[in-house]
Chains A and B, each alone.
Chain A
């Protein structure tokens, strides 16, 4: 039970990293643990495990105060709480059990109202408990006597004399009567027993920690006071500020000594009503540090890790940081009026504490004003004590004050203004009317905790109360200052006058508040005392919870302000490249950039939550409830301070998927449509599992992973840090989108594929380029399939489009583009420069061979189209991705194909036994083309240069347009993707395929060719991959063959210019027609290989592309019609066969070559 619930709470703790900030939505429904920790000021490692109603009996202090004989002691009814290593008692009846309602958990009374240790009671570390005895009592009462180690330091080396002396050996012993059913009492005791046993090891640590407390020294018997007292701050060396006589330090010390003797000291101190009173009259100098440490709870942090301070200093010794530079600048100017900080000793302490904290909390680092606060602390406490108190300040007491965005400071200013408006409406109105900004004066009060606003002695009095009662004290004092000076402030009409009124007031805090009063007692009241009275009496309505409420209310506005400021600043400072983009684009980029990072962090949390929920669910059903409470975690919000500002590759993909269609995956691993769910099952199984766990993409579309994306990422990552900054992204995009200069874009694209920067792109690179082109345009140019304006516009531009079917303007364009890409490859090889001068296309190609290779070629247009198919993206990537890429596992089965295409030919032929006849055919042709295909021969390397590339691109109108407008325009920075298109990539893809099916023109060819590719859809993944690779390879061959043939033609004809060779295109079309019958057989084979539904889907895509390619080629050559008709015939025959096998997907495909937008039946 103990383990389980502690686990749940630990999980809860984990899930709510911001609970210490008290700022997130979890604030509305704060976790019980955080309330508990706040209440008793315990470290974040503590959770309420057990609690029980109990009565605390503090025995009469008869030993020290003989006069109290007969007194039965003090009795307090309240609740006893047990956490992992603390036993706490409070008269506040709040409950922190999971079963308790939020209202009982947050129903606080007392001065702190939950903002700190309230009510009477104690927070004992279990290791401070020496003995727990079960008392025999009547009435079956369950009573425990608890003896603490208190007094132990007096004993070491105890001689017989000392033991005799009762005063020295007196133990602190309290009695607690547990109320409640016996079972729960027993359970509590079991928990306590376990906890005590666990705490035994910490006793030594405790001893070390309390040794630094001055009270240990103070309570020592006189004869043992010769030892040096523990460090109670610089004040011991340089005197404490203020006149001790005036401060009545001696009297205070006496009172405290008495209190500590009776009620325990440092960690075993029991809070009784006197405690709070003693604090409000001001702490004595030497005990101030210790009580601060105790009331703020920082002593418990120190107890957890006593050596953290020294360790941190040692660990980072000699290292440098920005924070250290900033600290150094301020060391000489922190409370310079105090002598201790004019000495190297004081400055050294300050330096060490600030530096150590900047190391343990790099998110905060160093903020000006911390130097002042820490300097103040160091007057009263040791370095290590100040270090932990600073942690408690930054994490709990004034969260966010010193963060890099200072959101806590800004938020509390808003809260303070709200308080002023509410409590002093007239003054508020005056401020508004005279345009005086309150925070101008009040911000330093809060930020430096009044330390440099008031004379030090008074500032420390405020701190005394602040540490015990929490941040609300800052508000109460601030309001009281305004209230007391209200009259004068109403006369002040500008910032300057306002400031000087308050300056004058602070300077006279020690004067009498009523100098003219007849009553000497009243005359003796100082202005500061008046201030305290006003603060805590008149503004007693300002409670911890009312402050929290106001913080919550103003949080969003403040964070938004900070964020818009940060955004404004960031955008303005993006450098010259950013000028290439419009302000709207930059703003939108900023939002997208941080949006993605934020979303991803949020999702990480949710995933972690889910994992926790899963784990804890098995044993405890309520775990889900715990988890659901934690949904509002806002880590990563820019306004909250430093968060990730670096984008890794996955985030980059997601980022692109938000604005570019081509960056959306076609094959989401998380199925969105049924058809895809089915399809996915086979082929994607291997990597789907891990993907789902590792990178869920939230509500957005799943981003694609393509080599192009990797290249882009690497290109933008100019610092090679594997992460992009906003600057990187803006610069990267500015180069693509900013210039709108076709030459620039072409160059950019070329450089993107020029791996070694030598200005050459080799054969592989050419293929990769074309893959990238197809990848980028597979959802159509402009990335829009629905006839958007842009598409139409582009369509209008492209004069060659004969698209009587106005409803599908995208299609013909896409067709044509595929053709362009195919031509691109051809031309690239055609104009490529050999790497060796003797590498010429010398192969004597006889006509027959060409025909054979053409035969092969007919399959290839489709095969080529596969290159832009969804699954093949990955596959292509396979081939190209360097070893060690994340896909390595998947690649294992295709490893044999990693060699350059021509080498793969052999290996990939083997497995295609399904379509034996076809592969026979292919093998023949392949062999022939291999001979012919010098372009693919690795022993004859070739490359293209930028001018060649440029020429090839410019030779094609569509490609030109792509680089001129389509590619840059495909980044929809401002508008983003329309909901319909971004909604789901699969639907877009389905449309695409249905378009393809509708076109139906060369379905036969498509389907036939698809057999190889169709294999890819078949469950046997390996074969699928091979099939795809096969196609790429054969495509390369086709191209090569084409190149060769063209070379010959070129030799024959004189014209060898950039215009597309019409003859060649004609041939291609004819070849396609020829191919149809031969491929039907293969098709059948492919079909019989099961999982037809998904397969068909896949195939349809592929066939459409193929179809498009064929069509585009045909169109480009203007002689497409007969060819297309024949293809259609072939297609219908293929379709019939498919129909047999229960898939009616392609049922409509035969209705007409150009009818598109056909819906699937299935």
Chain B
């Protein structure tokens, strides 16, 4: 994921938002992707953090504008502010915490209804390093059932369950470890590939979707009749 921007390749920006329960490793995923680094103690994200990273595809370069949101429940009402106009979303859950998948499903539902139409959503189960699969980096679902019990596997969400859900909802699906770096770049590459060419035309890459998302915005913010003049999309 080097910044070797090849001049002839078309370059475009993609706004990507990370959502998910607190402490599932959103910021860590981004940090791994952007800096190929991992910190045990990352400052909590207040509101949202903004980072950028380029992703080179054979045919084009995608510049990700990453919005890493705060995970604490009460920040949820701020989320619409960040996912507006997003062309891609990473919904992260913790493989060792079933409730985080529930929360992830909520986010998926929220995005599907409120975010820009055509948003590419990836469901990401993080902390694979805490499971047996993560140890060998095999991620083969074969060993799961048998070995989970006896070897202190911290996995609480089966690949099968999350995968089935992802398929039902038409999401990209990955299991990653921000700690080991396993599968992290793959997620972003897959998203870059999944972004429809049409929405990448403009300089910022989002112009096409802007009009649509603008209209969408009205819905997102439910600004209602009381507040028709207010700037859209603000304050949830």
Contact = CB atoms under 8 A, between A and B. Distances in A.
Interface of A: 326, 329-330, 332-334, 336, 367-369, 371-372, 403-406, 409-411, 413-414, 417, 431-432, 435, 437-440, 443-444, 447-448, 452, 493-496, 499, 554, 556-558, 560-562, 564-566, 568-569, 572-573
Contacts of A336: 41, 43
B226 A557 contact: yes
A410 B77 contact: yes
8 contacts: A329-B22, A410-B78, A413-B234, A447-B46, A496-B52, A565-B76, A569-B76, A573-B106
B37 interface: no
B235 A439 contact: yes
A448 B77 contact: no
A560 B74 CA distance: 16
Given A452-B46, A557-B227, A326 B22 contact: yes
Given A326-B22, A414-B235, A440 B204 contact: no
Contacts of B73: 404
Nearest to B105: A573
A565 B106 contact: no
Contacts of B170: none
A414 B234 contact: yes
Contacts of A405: 74, 77
Interface string B44-62: 1111101010000000000
Contact of B77 (A406, A447, A494, A499): A406
Among A330, A432, A452: residue with most chain B CB under 10 A: A330
Nearest to A567: B222
Interface string B102-119: 000010011001100000
A565 B106 CA distance: 13
Interface string B197-221: 0000000100000100000000001
Nearest to A563: B222
Interface of B: 13, 22-23, 40-48, 50, 52, 65, 70, 72-78, 80-82, 84-85, 106, 109-110, 113-114, 204, 210, 221-224, 226-227, 230-231, 233-236
Nearest to A493: B204
A1006 B221 CA distance: 61
B84 A333 contact: no
B223 A561 contact: yes
B110 A569 contact: yes
Nearest to B72: A368
A470 B201 CA distance: 48
Nearest to A326: B72
A584 B32 CA distance: 43
A333 B43 contact: yes
B84 A368 contact: no
B227 A404 contact: no
Given A329-B23, A496-B50, A440 B223 contact: no
A561 B224 CA distance: 8
- The 5 closest A-B CB pairs, nearest first, are A557-B227, A332-B41, A410-B235, A564-B222, A333-B43
Contacts of A447: 46-47
A637 to B, nearest CB: 14
A565 B226 contact: no
A248 to B, nearest CB: 31
Given A452-B46, A557-B230, A406 B52 contact: no
Q: Is the interface of B mostly helix, strand, loop or mixed?
A: loop
Given A444-B46, A564-B222, A565-B80, A432 B236 contact: no
B42 to A, nearest CB: 6
Contacts of A562: 77, 236
Nearest to A572: B109
Contacts of B42: 333
| Most A CB within 10 A of own CB, among B65, B77, B223 | B77
Given A410-B235, A439-B234, A572-B110, A372 B46 contact: yes
A375 to B, nearest CB: 11
A405 B78 CA distance: 9
Contacts of A569: 76, 106, 110
A844 B82 CA distance: 83
Contacts of A368: 44-46, 70, 72, 75
B47 A437 contact: no
Contacts of B41: 332-333, 336
Contacts of A452: 43, 46
Nearest to B66: A496
A334 B72 CA distance: 15
A330 B40 CA distance: 11
A334 B45 CA distance: 11
A405 B75 CA distance: 8
A409 B221 CA distance: 16
Contacts of A572: 106, 109-110, 113
A417 B231 CA distance: 9
Contact of A440 (B13, B52, B81, B109): B81
B137 to A, nearest CB: 27
Contacts of B109: 572
Nearest to A556: B226
B64 to A, nearest CB: 10
A240 B80 CA distance: 39
Which of A336, A448, A554, A557 has most B Cβ within 10 Å?
A: A557
A494 B75 CA distance: 23
Given A437-B84, A440-B82, A496-B52, A565 B210 contact: no
Given A332-B41, A336-B41, A439-B234, A496 B65 contact: yes
A333 B44 CA distance: 7
Nearest to B84: A437
Contacts of B47: 440, 443-444, 447
A367 B77 contact: no
A332 B226 CA distance: 43
Nearest to A367: B74
B183 to A, nearest CB: 24
A435 B15 CA distance: 13
B231 A432 contact: yes
B74 A406 contact: yes
A569 B19 CA distance: 14
Contacts of A564: 222, 224
Contacts of B13: 494
A406 B109 CA distance: 22
Given A440-B81, A495-B65, A561 B221 contact: yes
A565 B22 CA distance: 19
B233 A437 contact: yes
Contacts of B52: 496
A447 B81 CA distance: 15
B231 to A, nearest CB: 6
A369 B80 CA distance: 19
Given A333-B41, A558-B235, A440 B46 contact: no
Contacts of A406: 74-75, 77-78
A1075 B77 CA distance: 70
A437 B67 CA distance: 13
B101 to A, nearest CB: 13
A329 B81 contact: no
Given A369-B46, A414-B235, 7 more contacts: A329-B44, A413-B234, A417-B230, A444-B47, A447-B47, A557-B223, A561-B222
Nearest to A413: B235
B171 to A, nearest CB: 16
A479 B75 CA distance: 24
Contact of B234 (A369, A404, A437): A437
A153 to B, nearest CB: 41
The residue among A432, A496, A568, A569 with the most chain B CB atoms within 10 A of its own CB is A496
Contacts of B65: 494-496
A578 to B, nearest CB: 12
A922 to B, nearest CB: 63
A573 B84 CA distance: 21
A1076 to B, nearest CB: 64
Contact of A371 (B40, B44, B84): B44
A888 B234 CA distance: 55
Contacts of B204: 493-494
